[in-house]
Amino acid sequence: MTQRVAINGASGRMGRELIVAAQARDDLELVAAFASSTNEQLGIDAGRLAGVADTGVFLTSSESIAKAAFDVLVDFSLPAPSMSALAACRAQGAAMVIGTTGFSAAQQAEIDAAAADIAIVQAPNYSAGVNLTLDLVERAAAALGDDVDIEIVEAHHRHKVDAPSGTALKLGEVAARGRGQTLDQNAVYAREGHTGERPAGAIGFATVRGGDIVGEHTVLFAGAGERIEITHRATSRQTFAGGAMRAAVWASVQTPGHYGMNDVLGLSD
C-alpha cells in the first residue's frame, strides 16, 4: 500500500535528501513539500530542488500545511514550524516523523500530548547505525559503571546551529541511563579556565563545527590503563533520509503513540 508523504523543511540540506529518499521508495508517494513563507525557492518543483527528476509537487509555504492531505508528514525544520506542523497532523489524524531537535520543555510536552491522538516517531537521528550505537553505548555504560569516565565528542558541518547535537545528547542520555543516572544531573557541556578535578559520574561533551562534516560521534569510556571508544561516522545524509522515510512508512500504519527509531528497527525490549 502506498502512503502519501509530506515533507516540512523541504528546502534545507536534509529536506532535499528527504525528497530524494521519498522518490526512491515504491511504498511512498510525495504529495507535498513545505518551507518557510519567506523562502525564495517557493514554487520550484521539489524534484528539481533536490537535483532529481521533476515530481509535479511544488515547494509551498508551511502556512498551507493545514490545507494539505497526507498520511504522514516528515519534519526536519525548526522547533516553531515543527509545532505548527504537529498541530496540522493532529487535526487531520496524520502520523508524524520528527527529526527536528532543540525543542523547549513546553514544546516537548505538547509533542508528548499529541501522541495520544496520532502516531509520532521522534528521534534525534534516523540512521540505523546510530541507533545500534545507542544500544551499544547503554550496554557499555551499564557494564563499566563508575570505573570509567565518559566523554562524548561530536563533529558537524559549519552550518549546524545547535550544540551539542541532538544525537550527542541522546548518547549522553543512554549512557547515563546505563549507569542508573540522569543526564541532567551529570552533564558537563563546557570547560574553560581552572575547572578543578573532574566530578565523579560526570558525562562530558565536546563539540566540533567545521567544513562539510556530515556527522561524527564518539563516546569515550576512559578507565585506568585502558580506553574504549564507540564511534559512528556518517558520510552521506541519505543514511538519515532513508531511515526517516523507513520510519514514515512504519508510522503511517501505527496506532497513536510516541515511538522512537528503536521501535521502527525492532530493537525495543
> Is 80 exceeded by the pLDDT of residue 267?
no
Q: Given this model, what pLDDT does residue 269 score? A: 60
* Closest to 230 in 3D by CA, of 139, 115, 96: 139
- How does pLDDT run across 138-193, given as a tens digit for each residue? 999 999 999 999 999 999 999 998 899 989 999 999 999 999 999 999 999 999 99
Query: Which three cell numbers mark 92?
Result: 487531520
What does the pLDDT read at residue 13?
87
Mean pLDDT to the nearest integer, 29-54: 93
Can you give the residue ranges of every domain in the chain? Answer: 3-126+237-265, 128-234
CB 13 within 8 A of CB 233: no
Model confidence over 9-35: pLDDT tens digits? Answer: 999 989 999 999 999 999 999 999 999
Residue 266 confidence (pLDDT): 84
Residue 133 gets the label, from left (phi > 0), alpha (psi -120 to 50) or beta, of alpha
Distance CA(90)–CA(215), nearest Å, equals 31
pLDDT value, residue 237 = 85
**What's the rounded mean pLDDT across residues 237-245?**
92
Distance between CA atoms of 20 and 8, rounded to whole angstroms?
A: 14
Share of the chain above pLDDT 70, in %: 99
Q: Which ranges of 27-121 would DSSP assign to H, the alpha helix?
A: 46-50, 79-92, 105-114
Whether 128-234 and 3-126+237-265 are alike in CATH topology: the answer is no
C-alpha 86/C-alpha 192 separation (Å) is 39
3-126+237-265 CATH, one of 3.40.50.2300, 3.40.980.10, 3.40.50.720, 3.90.180.10:
3.40.50.720
Average pLDDT, the chain: 94
- Cell of residue 20, nine digits: 530524494
Please report the pLDDT score of residue 124 as a whole number. 84
Count, residues in the chain: 269
User: Is the pTM of the predicted complex or chain greater than 0.85?
Assistant: no
Longest dimension (CA), the chain: 61
Question: Per-residue b/e over 127-166, b at no fewer than 16 CB within 10 Å?
Answer: bbebbebbeebbebbeebeeebbbbbbbbbeeeeeebbbb
Q: pLDDT for 85-129, tens place per residue?
A: 999 999 999 999 999 988 999 999 999 999 999 999 999 889 889
Architecture of domain 128-234: 2-Layer Sandwich (3.30)
Task: Please give the DSSP secondary-structure letter assigned to residue 198.
Answer: P
Query: Backbone phi, then psi, for 155, in 5-degree steps?
Result: -135, 135
* Active site (catalytic) residues: 156, 160
Neighbouring C-beta atoms of residue 63, cutoff 10 Å? 12
